[in-house]
Structure 1
């Protein structure tokens, strides 16, 4: 969900990591980290996929499976 002048704001409700049961900072920073990693890793993964299918898929999945969850779990608010 984007508010205002195109600044991405992500909200995750129903979590148990804080008393408010909502997270805003972690998912927003996680999305930005995901996008930055994807810009680099998806073209590299596509190139590697041409030669090594499994390795290329792992590279392209890295932002979603490692980067995003690591960031949102590191920031509790």
Structure 2
């Protein structure tokens, strides 16, 4: 599953630089995560780095983007391939 940032976000700016896929960006009111780029850090780290650093625990699984670890790994490989091209 991709992750999402909930309304509890305090815009502390710590999650955005931790994302290896550049999936996190400043939205209109709070930070947001592009589900097409989020791999939950699969391929990079054992745990999602944004969740590790979030001081208010406002990053959860996105219910509309259900993906297995295998799906996330395929997405990771696709994103890596796009970086090379």
TM-score, length basis structure 1: 0.31
Relative to total residues, which structure has the larger helix share, 1 or 2?
1
Where relative contact order (Cα < 8 A, 6+ residues apart) is larger, the structure is 2
- Structure with bigger gyration radius: 1
